[in-house]
Structure 1
Amino acid sequence: MRPVQFAFEETQLDEIAKAEGRIAIFVPQEGNLDQGSRRINRMTRGAVERLREDKGADAANGTLITLAFPTGLAAEAVDVVILPRRCSIEEARKAGAALGKARGNAALTVLAGTHPKAAQIAFGIAMRDYGFDDHKTADAEEDARAVRMMVSKPADVEAAAAPLLAVADGAFFTRDLVNEPANVLTTTEFADRLVALQEIGLEVEVLEEDQLKELGMGALLSVGEGSESPSKVVVMQWNGGDKAAPPLALVGKGVVFDTGGISLKPAAGMEDMTMDMGGAGVVAGTMKALALRKAKANVVGLVGLVENMPSGRATRPGDVVTSMKGDTIEVINTDAEGRLVLCDVMHYAQDRFKPAGMIDLATLTGAIIIGLGHENAGVFSNDDMLCNAFLKAADAEGEGAWRMPLGKGYAKQLKSRIADVKNVGGRPAGSITAAEFLQRFVQEGTPWIHLDIAGVASVKSETALAPAGATGWGVSALSRLVADNFEV
């Protein structure tokens, strides 16, 4: 679905009494109310002050308290949000998210006045105002998607909010992709949705199976052998920077469904494997965000799209496949397929684009969930400068990320008796050995980060800025990384 649309307007207090749906105001735990809140307080005969006296002292910043069916107003509710003028970006976004969650399908008028974090509040509203109901047959209620945001300087707030709302749009694109069932989001449908991004200025090309065979992508192609869906690689380019500047390369694992192949997964929970293309989803959403906000940087996004299915043609445990790099790989477990997809796309990205840095994203291992749960993605890197820049961006955007170790001792677990390397190194340090496998395909001199997002791409319970399901984790952090480190 598309993010909510905002109308930024000059504050018009005389219109408040006629506003329908819900009205939102922001009040501190103590101290003076702003102009809009004072007007609402008078119209509701002091209800705002009484509510603050009753509940404000014990409320955290961002807490929303609803006055239902207020007297003196046409609105069905007034949402009173505890939020001082001096608040953090995180608090402002969470306050907005509380409004996005509470509003349902109702029209919303936000009285932000002169609040310095009005743009961040708008971002929070946009990020939380999401639902994936494309496959529900019940009649949908009429949805008043637009949000009126009354502020003292609407042009300034709109300008500050524009790049944030572009990021929200990209995150929604990621969420929609990750939430889609696999019978809808086939490799072909996925590629078609990415091709459609040409409409916003991205250059998009699709490499089909015959081209992948010519390139020697034997590792990637081995994953899709058992499926009727053709394997593909999609390349998206955004050239908003200096023509001579090498791009940042983003590489995503796009396994549209993962049965485990011949190493079949247990039936319980297999339905969640529709999200195994989460890395490709984040790359796609980030590229959309960069294009929408006209980022002054060169970035290329590459995604490997496959389906891992068992059949008479499927790759078997014990098979040996040859990567584009030329390394032979003993496939010990066909359920460790994501690294086979990534290694070929990473090699292609470096050979063709000679990137200034490369970041791959994948729902790669269950081991990272055991280690970090659903709070943080695992971060592995060969370059402290790039890694620290990403961690700083992720922290600023409130997207959990934690650096994990690499080392030759872990790489020893991948030694094969019959090939150059095997695709798994056993249960100990499973997420680290997966990263070590990928590092084998990083060319000397290429700054690289591997993000294992298995625990954060899709979750069972809501987060601060997203309902249960796909989170869109990574779009905000990567967009900020580009803005802070790669834009001219």
Structure 2
Amino acid sequence: MAELRALSFLPVDTDALTTVPGRIAVFITPDLKLSAGARRLNRLTKGALARATASEAWDKLAEGKVMSLNWPAGLEADAVDLVKLSRRPSHSLARKVGAALAVAAGASAMTVLVEGTNRAEEIALGVALRGYGFDDHKTTKADAFGPATFMCAKPEEAAAAAAPRIAVAEGVHFTRDLVNEPANVLTTTEFVTRLEALRDLGVEVDVLEEAALAKLGMGALLCVGQGSDSPSKVVIMRWTGGAKGDAPLALIGKGVVFDTGGISLKPAAGMEDMTMDMGGAGVVAGVMHALAKRNAKANVVGMVGLVENMPSGNAVRPGDVVTSMKGDTIEVVNTDAEGRLVLCDVMWHAQEAEKPAAMIDLATLTGACIIALGHENAAVFSNNDPLVGAFLKAAEAEDEGAWRMPLGQAYDDMLKSPVADMKNVGGRPAGSITAAQFLKRFVKDDMPWIHLDIAGVAHVKSDLDLSPKGATGWGVRALDRLVADMFEKSE
């Protein structure tokens, strides 16, 4: 499992700069006024910093970008990274600067002089988020990340401000680890084991096995996994950091540990990527991890449906009719539209058993979402303007792309079935919208609800500013911020 780069916050010690290993990062403001640490580095390197910042290349350097002085004379460090940055950068820019420094450092130790520059906690978050690698299944392991030391004028204050942000980074890493795992490792049973480990952080974890799911009437969820040898399960995670009796926020995640498409078999090309089809459940788990680590003053319940969608003699067939926990019947037109069958039963159980104040579901649900929004934004659907407005604000603050999509009766009508109360697909047009309309049928009239289709953002093929290619952990930061903004009560 990936571990966070070790982070520490210490007072500024200019004398120690001569002997620190790895790389030293220093921030240069647009007025070129050097901080005490920068002046010390400039003297030790015989004016190298002054020459660099007087150059034409520095003038052309955009704010937040890095100029590296490699193998500087007078220092034991391998490089000095000069960052053009104002004293009060935006939170977003500070995170990206931290990530850029983490990339430059690689496995090396890094010392960051943040004297005179605010947002130390966001710079640290960027370092933590980008310093991630997943090599559990490689025989040759990458070198462990070296420590990051932040030299600050007020290290205690900086450390206190960074602590909840680093807790969120740990939740992001937890999600990435889950999403990056191959399906032969992360079976439904192994997934449960990893979620049960959250008990060590104070999260209450309950597991519903197939017999209990059948007794509850979860025919939609159970039909998805009936072709697999891996048993279907529902895991309920409760964090009760808020006032006793306050209704929780419910987070619901699709946890299809592998999706072949079932009898409606997917094409072979690209099927290996379907190890990430449990991304929604992974995000819910990461949020619960983050809330517990930072001791959030809120009540939140996370519920995930864990299944594997496989073809076999026992698999659900196109044309079968199943009965949901709600009691509605569903014609399964396409067995590859399985995520909504999992979610609808878990969503109904969440409303019946937990009586939440609001409900948000997450799923790598539709390829249509990727066609519409690419890998830049998750698709957001909601029946409640204040709730979705707060979420979109939180997502923007955390640099997690999200775009609201429409709902409407015309889309709902596309789900009409001649043999059941509804069918599970509405055809190729507006595929992500009709999927959301299907889920909306399982939302009670008075329940504020958001559906997040994260098919395009949960796993990517190339590096991003704050994450390497592979699992991104998208949504952990935005949902944590939403909890803080809307559901958390200060003491």
TM-score range, shorter chain: over 0.9
Q: What letter corresponds to residue 168 of structure 1 in structure 2?
A: A
- Deviation track 1:154-200 (CA, whole Å, cap 9, x = no partner) reads 11000100000000000000011111110111001011000001001
- In structure 1, the partner of 2:352 is 351
Q: Closer, same or farther in 2 for the Cα pair 1:325/1:98, shift >3 Å?
A: same
Question: What is the rounded CA distance, in whole Å, between the counterparts of 2:454 and 2:260 in structure 1?
Answer: 19
- In structure 1, the partner of 2:418 is 417
Question: What is the rounded CA distance, in whole Å, between the counterparts of 2:297 and 2:173 in structure 1?
Answer: 22
Which of the numbers 129, 132, 137 marks the counterpart of 2:131? 129
Question: Is the 8 Å Cα contact of residues 29 and 52 (structure 1) preserved in structure 2?
Answer: no
Q: What letter corresponds to residue 347 of structure 2 in structure 1?
A: M
SS in structure 2 at match of 1:260: coil
- In structure 2, the partner of 1:92 is 94
Question: What is the rounded CA distance, in whole Å, between the counterparts of 1:344 and 1:373 in structure 2?
Answer: 29
- In structure 2, the partner of 1:378 is 379
- In structure 1, the partner of 2:52 is 51
Alignment of 1:322-337 (within 5 A): 322-337=323-338
What are the ranges of 5 or more consecutive residues in structure 1 without an aligned counterpart? none
Q: What letter corresponds to residue 251 of structure 1 in structure 2?
A: I
Which deviates more from structure 2 when the two are superposed, residues 40-49 or residues 363-372?
40-49
- In structure 1, the partner of 2:194 is 193
Question: Is the 8 Å Cα contact of residues 336 and 423 (structure 1) preserved in structure 2?
Answer: yes
Question: What is the rounded CA distance, in whole Å, between the counterparts of 2:50 and 2:405 in structure 1?
Answer: 49
Residue 215 of structure 1 deviates from its aligned partner by 0.6
- In structure 2, the partner of 1:272 is 273
Question: What is the rounded CA distance, in whole Å, between the counterparts of 1:371 and 1:183 in structure 2?
Answer: 31
Residue 139 of structure 1 deviates from its aligned partner by 4.7
Residue 256 of structure 1 deviates from its aligned partner by 0.5
Q: What letter corresponds to residue 465 of structure 2 in structure 1?
A: A
SS in structure 1 at match of 2:282: helix
Alignment of 1:27-176 (within 5 A): 27-54=28-55, 55-141=57-143, 143-176=144-177
- In structure 2, the partner of 1:217 is 218
Write out the 4+ residue segments of structure 1 that deviate beyond 6 Å after TM superposition.
Answer: none
Alignment of 1:396-435 (within 5 A): 396-435=397-436
- In structure 1, the partner of 2:303 is 302
SS in structure 1 at match of 2:302: strand
Question: What is the rounded CA distance, in whole Å, between the counterparts of 2:337 and 2:396 in structure 1?
Answer: 30
Q: Does 1:474 align with 2:475?
A: yes
**C-alpha RMSD of matched pairs (Å):** 0.9
Q: What letter corresponds to residue 313 of structure 2 in structure 1?
A: G
Question: Is the 8 Å Cα contact of residues 89 and 118 (structure 2) preserved in structure 1?
Answer: no
- Identity over aligned residues, as a percent? 65
Question: Is the 8 Å Cα contact of residues 61 and 95 (structure 1) preserved in structure 2?
Answer: no
Question: Is the 8 Å Cα contact of residues 5 and 147 (structure 1) preserved in structure 2?
Answer: yes
- Deviation track 1:370-393 (CA, whole Å, cap 9, x = no partner) reads 111111000000000100000010
Question: What is the rounded CA distance, in whole Å, between the counterparts of 1:378 and 1:144 in structure 2?
Answer: 34
Question: Is the 8 Å Cα contact of residues 218 and 345 (structure 2) preserved in structure 1?
Answer: yes
TM-score norm. by structure 1 comes to 0.99
Question: Is the 8 Å Cα contact of residues 219 and 343 (structure 1) preserved in structure 2?
Answer: yes
Which deviates more from structure 2 when the two are superposed, residues 367-376 or residues 74-83?
74-83
Question: What is the rounded CA distance, in whole Å, between the counterparts of 2:170 and 2:329 in structure 1?
Answer: 41
Question: What is the rounded CA distance, in whole Å, between the counterparts of 1:188 and 1:343 in structure 2?
Answer: 21
SS in structure 2 at match of 1:205: strand
Question: Is the 8 Å Cα contact of residues 329 and 420 (structure 2) preserved in structure 1?
Answer: yes
Q: What letter corresponds to residue 32 of structure 2 in structure 1?
A: G
Question: Is the 8 Å Cα contact of residues 118 and 157 (structure 1) preserved in structure 2?
Answer: yes
Q: What letter corresponds to residue 92 of structure 1 in structure 2?
A: A
- In structure 1, the partner of 2:339 is 338
Alignment of 1:434-453 (within 5 A): 434-453=435-454
Q: Does 1:177 align with 2:178?
A: yes
- In structure 2, the partner of 1:205 is 206
Question: What is the rounded CA distance, in whole Å, between the counterparts of 1:29 and 1:468 in structure 2?
Answer: 33
Question: Is the 8 Å Cα contact of residues 20 and 76 (structure 1) preserved in structure 2?
Answer: yes
Q: What letter corresponds to residue 472 of structure 1 in structure 2?
A: G
Question: Is the 8 Å Cα contact of residues 131 and 145 (structure 2) preserved in structure 1?
Answer: no
Residue 451 of structure 1 deviates from its aligned partner by 0.2
What are the ranges of 5 or more consecutive residues in structure 2 without an aligned counterpart? none
Q: What letter corresponds to residue 362 of structure 1 in structure 2?
A: A
Residue 49 of structure 1 deviates from its aligned partner by 2.0
Question: What is the rounded CA distance, in whole Å, between the counterparts of 1:59 and 1:283 in structure 2?
Answer: 39
Residue 29 of structure 1 deviates from its aligned partner by 3.7
Question: What is the rounded CA distance, in whole Å, between the counterparts of 1:448 and 1:460 in structure 2?
Answer: 31
Which deviates more from structure 2 when the two are superposed, residues 79-88 or residues 383-392?
79-88
SS in structure 2 at match of 1:250: strand
Residue 31 of structure 1 deviates from its aligned partner by 2.6
Question: Is the 8 Å Cα contact of residues 223 and 307 (structure 1) preserved in structure 2?
Answer: yes
Question: What is the rounded CA distance, in whole Å, between the counterparts of 2:290 and 2:232 in structure 1?
Answer: 26
Question: What is the rounded CA distance, in whole Å, between the counterparts of 1:380 and 1:406 in structure 2?
Answer: 7
Residue 144 of structure 1 deviates from its aligned partner by 4.9
Q: What letter corresponds to residue 139 of structure 2 in structure 1?
A: T
- Deviation track 1:407-432 (CA, whole Å, cap 9, x = no partner) reads 01100000000000000000010000
Question: Is the 8 Å Cα contact of residues 5 and 145 (structure 2) preserved in structure 1?
Answer: no
Question: Is the 8 Å Cα contact of residues 135 and 142 (structure 2) preserved in structure 1?
Answer: no
Question: Is the 8 Å Cα contact of residues 203 and 236 (structure 1) preserved in structure 2?
Answer: yes
- In structure 2, the partner of 1:244 is 245
SS in structure 2 at match of 1:450: strand
Question: What is the rounded CA distance, in whole Å, between the counterparts of 2:205 and 2:147 in structure 1?
Answer: 31
SS in structure 1 at match of 2:483: helix
Which deviates more from structure 2 when the two are superposed, residues 193-202 or residues 28-37?
28-37
Residue 140 of structure 1 deviates from its aligned partner by 4.0
Question: What is the rounded CA distance, in whole Å, between the counterparts of 2:90 and 2:104 in structure 1?
Answer: 21
- Deviation track 1:62-96 (CA, whole Å, cap 9, x = no partner) reads 21121111100001111111211121111111000
Q: What letter corresponds to residue 271 of structure 2 in structure 1?
A: M
Q: What letter corresponds to residue 84 of structure 1 in structure 2?
A: S
- In structure 1, the partner of 2:363 is 362
Question: What is the rounded CA distance, in whole Å, between the counterparts of 1:241 and 1:303 in structure 2?
Answer: 22
Question: Is the 8 Å Cα contact of residues 328 and 421 (structure 1) preserved in structure 2?
Answer: yes
SS in structure 2 at match of 1:273: helix
